[in-house]
Amino acid sequence: MAIWHSIEKPTLLLNSDIARRNIRRMNEKAKAQKIRFRPHFKTHQSAEIGEWFREEGIQTITVSSLDMAEYFARYGWQDITIAFPVNIRQMDTLQNLAKRIHLGLLIESPEVAQLLGQCLKSMVDIWIKIDCGYGRTGISWNQPSEVAALITEIRRIPQLNLRGILTHAGHTYIASSQEIVRRYREAIERMNRLRNELGEFGSLEVSVGDTPGCTLAGDLGEVDEIRPGNFIFYDAMQLHFGVCHPEDIAVALACPVVARHPNRNEVAIHGGAIHLSKDYFKDGEQAIYGLVALPEGDNWSKPLPNAFVRGISQEHGMVHLSSANMQSVQVGDLLCIIPVHSCLTVHAMRSYLTLDGKIISTLNKD
């Protein structure tokens, strides 16, 4: 039975069949190339959805915060990497978690390594964060002497087990499909060049993790593990840049239409920044805050042509429609908005409604 009649306010819909298929496909790709799959759980943030990964035999995961690590540890995950630089103000909490699970941490300075050595009593895995061109954080891939100095410091501290070097090629998220593959391969090449230059330190693993590269690159390259996250749901940005197809998108935000403006082919929806975030991508000069689909049986339709969320405020979304769709959409109808960034929409909404009517909570709802 369709769930549309039960929706009264912005509601995050989840097609669990698509999500499970996306998990299975990425897992099989990693297994076929004998690469460890450590999916990033920051996208779905749900213990129940985490069980879908377990059903595929996955035991190693990535998270983006210590709070998220503690949440998933409570649900039995025992091998967790926090893919965010260590926050030294959380050292007590970090120590308590390290006693209970196999914990991986990211560092990029000798100072943090020294503080970990002073505070931690339990062994932790250490990954050195490398910047391969994204420009967010990490030691630059072309500074092997700086990485070597950090390795030397890490090796002096008994509680720190150096695993290898880790990067996130986040600049693949804003490129065309061909450029995505080029940037992914460039990042792999740079990581392996750095690994070779650090050969005196013995065997170091390489960990990478971005959904666009891991989706589009047929050959994942000479890496030991991949850590994509967004692939479970994909979103409007991934669709725009050719990373996925409409049938790969597993979430949409159902939003009531609250006003019509036929003179400018627009409707207002209850669904704004506090539901979708303010992420956007550009299509020419137009900022796009979400794509638009319609309820269709027990699912939502493909994105409508010439329809998009063109503006957003706290509770409002302003949706441009084609003339034909404008005539058929009425106040009280639902529009299904494909979010630009599914990770942020999940974080904002805190729970899902599956297409068969089940509510699934996230760590922010528990």
What would the pLDDT profile of 101-123 be if each residue is shown by its tens digit?
A: 999 999 999 999 999 999 999 99
pLDDT 10s digits, 271-315:
999 999 999 999 999 999 999 999 999 999 999 999 999 999 999
pLDDT at res. 233: 98
Distance CA 147, CA 100 (A): 29
Confirm if 125 and 104 have CB atoms less than 8 A apart: yes
246 exposure class (CB count in 10 Å sphere: 0-12, 13-18, 19+): middle
pLDDT at res. 133: 87
What's the CATH number of domain 4-12+244-361, 3.90.25.10, 2.40.37.20, 3.40.50.261, 3.40.605.10? 2.40.37.20
Residue 53, φ and ψ in degrees, nearest 5? -70, -40
- Measured in whole angstroms, the distance separating CA 45 from the mean position of its chain's CA atoms is 10
By percentage, how much of the chain surpasses pLDDT 70?
Answer: 99
Closest CA to 192 of 171, 213, 223: 223
Kindly provide the b/e burial profile for residues 70-79, where b requires at least 16 CB atoms within 10 angstroms of the residue's own CB: bbbbeeebee
pLDDT at res. 366: 55
| Superfamily of domain covering 16-232 | Alanine racemase (3.20.20.10)
pLDDT at res. 173: 78
pLDDT at res. 364: 84
Per-domain residue ranges of the chain? 4-12+244-361, 16-232
Tell me the pLDDT of the chain (366 aa) as tens digits: 489 999 999 999 999 999 999 999 999 999 999 999 999 999 999 999 999 999 999 999 999 999 999 999 999 999 999 999 999 999 999 999 999 999 999 999 999 999 999 999 999 999 999 999 888 899 999 999 999 999 999 999 999 999 999 999 878 777 788 899 999 999 999 999 999 999 999 999 999 989 999 999 999 999 999 999 999 999 999 999 999 999 999 999 999 999 999 999 999 999 999 999 999 999 999 999 999 999 999 999 999 999 999 999 999 999 999 999 999 999 999 999 999 999 999 999 999 999 999 999 999 875
Q: How big, in percent rounded to 5, are the helix, strand and coil portions of the chain?
A: 35, 30, 35
Its pTM stands at: 0.96
Q: Where are the beta strands (DSSP E) in 284-342?
A: 286-288, 290-293, 295-296, 299-300, 308-312, 316-320, 334-339
pLDDT at res. 10: 98
Three-state secondary structure call for residue 261: strand
pLDDT at res. 39: 98
| Angstrom distances, CA of residue 315 to CA of 239, 258, 307, 331 | 25, 11, 19, 16
Let me know if the fold of 4-12+244-361 is the same as that of 16-232. Answer: no
Confirm if 313 and 272 have CB atoms less than 8 A apart: yes
pLDDT at res. 361: 97
pLDDT 10s digits, 139-170:
999 999 999 999 999 999 999 999 999 999 87
